[in-house]
Structure 1
């Protein structure tokens, strides 16, 4: 079931964002026809905790549980959604000839393999047909994520007794909150994290380009510290 449809029928949802060095959670409750913020919290975790094959899932699970317990009001929602870090996910628009949906199941992985620097055995692959590119072809949005990363998420959410109903890239997730339905302008979304910045370009409501720059908030903090001859902690507060 598409996340948009799921949100229409569910009264409560929990959003869990596992970033470079923190866990952020928000609890949403439906009211007046749309979801409203009920509670939120943020807890620090060791850098790159979930982005490694040897991730310490117990520490991250402890952080999520602490965030839920110490939030005010306390967070009890069980249905959760989360986003994969753009720096670890491959997002690409590919063109394929006109064909049936059944033929796409073979054609898309074969074409995607030419653009993704990992073997198909190492990734989970998903795609969505966007529309006609010309009379003879159409655009397909392809998203690929390393299996170890997705499996880390699945194991982690089981550890904290949350039902993970949806997981997608942060850029696409952000677009749902920012871009209005029927938007005709081209929109650029910048997701500035601690270690990387995700750039996503949307046109007519569909993603057209995605790229990650290996510089984020920490780069700015270090630059401020060097320029003003202060510690990183002082620069972080100034920033």
Structure 2
């Protein structure tokens, strides 16, 4: 089992999130991913354990139950590693005809950046052979450092061996063969961005945390996870209106249902105060992206919302106004075929399933 990669086959994508487990089974049908089945199990934010893989017996039992109910057929699975627990960085290394020399240079950079010994980590290094020149559409392969040496970029992703062992344990107990572990970041890019070369900011609004990913030419140059999510909205509603947490969650569901029925629901004022810190984090992330290097980068051209909280479509207009950038609701089913009658149901659950869809797509595209 590698941290990335594998052969094309029918496959499950499993996302263990703070809001529950999301499972998708896809198969390769005439070169395109086709939906076989899906399932999800919800849990309230703050439930213990905070990380589902810390309870391998209980989580594996729940996963087996979901698989039985959804009538899955594949025993191959790709698991998602949370953004907050994974190291990710793009570094510049001297170009060499020998890839191993570039890998070694990238590992040397990783040693400086990662605050734990590398023998406690599993690293994945991808050499970015062609770098798009930021000021035009020209492709260059011979960028140079100050001494004139040609340079290339490398995407380094790392996860602790101890965390990987927990995922291996859960899937083994569930009777599954782990084909690959992949970061949520790459799964989201695959499901929501695909081959689009635009500079895109993905905002993955989960129950407890929000992942912020800025992708340029398909490469995640900025990856951050901030401590705010759907639970913050729920708490704000609860505190402001004097409701308990369950009542506040029901209010969010009522708003979502009203939107699905076609009603024009504006963003309640109480939501704006809860979302203000996230807007600040998004603006900071964009500043990080445009301010790095020598400024020779493209600014964010569009924003894609996903995650459970992103199911509130009124947020699309809100972030468009606050950021001054066109914002869209992500559609993880855009490159997946499925029975026609499923579209309404898939539209409703889509924001929550972007990671699991992207994970399964790794093996079937």
Q: Same fold (TM over 0.5)?
A: yes
Residues 123-202 of structure 1 correspond to what in structure 2 (within 5 A)? 123-131=121-129, 132=141, 134-135=143-144, 136-181=150-195, 183-202=196-215
Contact 2:95 2:102 in 1 (8 A): no
Residues 1-239 of structure 1 correspond to what in structure 2 (within 5 A)? 3=5, 6-7=7-8, 10=9, 12-44=10-42, 46-50=48-52, 55-71=54-70, 74-99=71-96, 100-131=98-129, 132=141, 134-135=143-144, 136-181=150-195, 183-239=196-252
Contact 2:198 2:216 in 1 (8 A): yes
Contact 1:20 1:47 in 2 (8 A): no
Deviation at 1:44, TM superposition (A): 4.2
Instruction: Output the CA distance in 2 between the equivalents of 1:150 and 1:180.
Output: 26
Contact 1:50 1:149 in 2 (8 A): no
Contact 1:21 1:47 in 2 (8 A): no
Contact 2:202 2:212 in 1 (8 A): yes
**TM norm structure 2:** 0.59
Unmatched 5+ stretches in structure 1: none
Q: Which moved more, 1:126-135 or 1:34-43?
A: 126-135
**TM norm structure 1:** 0.88
Instruction: Output the CA distance in 2 between the equivalents of 1:20 and 1:65.
Output: 19
Task: Report which structure shows greater RCO (CA 8 Å, sep ≥6).
Answer: 2
Contact 1:69 1:75 in 2 (8 A): yes
Aligned length: 229
Contact 1:113 1:119 in 2 (8 A): yes
Instruction: Output the CA distance in 2 between the equivalents of 1:25 and 1:59.
Output: 16
Contact 1:171 1:189 in 2 (8 A): no
Stretches of 4+ moved more than 6 A in 1? none
Contact 2:214 2:222 in 1 (8 A): yes
Deviation at 1:133, TM superposition (A): 7.4
**Residue in structure 1 matched with residue 305 of structure 2 by the alignment:** none
1:82-137 per-position Cα deviation (integer Å, ceiling 9, x unaligned) = 21000111111111122331223432222112222222132111110113572232
**Residue in structure 1 matched with residue 267 of structure 2 by the alignment:** none
SS at match of 1:113: helix
Contact 1:50 1:152 in 2 (8 A): no
Q: Could you say what the CA RMSD is over the residues aligned between the two structures, in angstroms?
A: 2.0
The structure carrying a bigger helix percent of its residues is 2
SS at match of 2:231: helix
1:5-55 per-position Cα deviation (integer Å, ceiling 9, x unaligned) = 733xx2x2111111124111111133353122221111246442346xxx2
SS at match of 2:58: helix
